[in-house]
Amino acid sequence: MLQKIIFGAFLLAILTFPQGVRADLTVGKSADLVANQPQADQRVPRLESYLARHNPEIASKASVFVREADKYSLDWKLVAAIAGLESTFCRFIPDGSYNCWGWGIPSGAPFGVGFSSFDQGIATVSEGLRKRYVDRGLITVEEIGQVYAASPTWASRVRYFMDNIETYAMADTALSLELLL
């Protein structure tokens, strides 16, 4: 009888205090490796997908929008959103100007600054937003809009496009995740 009690206590101790198995150690280490790997930047494919709905030609410049935004510490959606407002995503611009942003166009003038390419336009506008606006303390879309454009609704319309890009990007990601499952 004493042997049964000792055996029962021993069995209870084993079941109550389980030790980790070799698989736990392996899984734990591999999980750490995956968690510490940098996540892929999804902004470029998201923006490209959004812009493709509006103008496939400018959609191919999504990486330029994101690169220049990062270079000048701007919101990655800002310069694309301004293009959405000012030129319907570069669909309606003076021929050969590559100026999708109304950059350097005084109110009422038919045209202004011309760029040699969309890449140059994106880079120039991004740099200009940083140096002429953000570095001078105008950090919100609303503050920038008071100087950038005469229209009192400019900021709300730029914000509309920024929100659309963000919403579309999230919906696009959700769809991608759904397809993976």
Output the pLDDT for position 25: 47
Helix (H) or strand (E) run with residue 35 in it: helix 22-35
Three-state DSSP class for residue 76 = coil
> Vertex 152, ends 82 and 96: CA angle to 5°?
35
Output the pLDDT for position 113: 85
Please give the Cα distance from 73 to 76 (Å, whole number).
Answer: 8
CATH 1.10.530.10 placement within the chain = 43-180
Please give the Cα distance from 62 to 51 (Å, whole number).
Answer: 8
Output the pLDDT for position 89: 98
Q: What is the CATH number of domain 43-180?
A: 1.10.530.10
Output the pLDDT for position 40: 72
Output the pLDDT for position 26: 45
> Vertex 97, ends 160 and 100: CA angle to 5°?
5
> Average pLDDT by consecutive 10-residue portion of the chain (181 residues)?
60 53 48 50 94 96 98 98 97 93 74 89 98 97 95 97 88 54 54
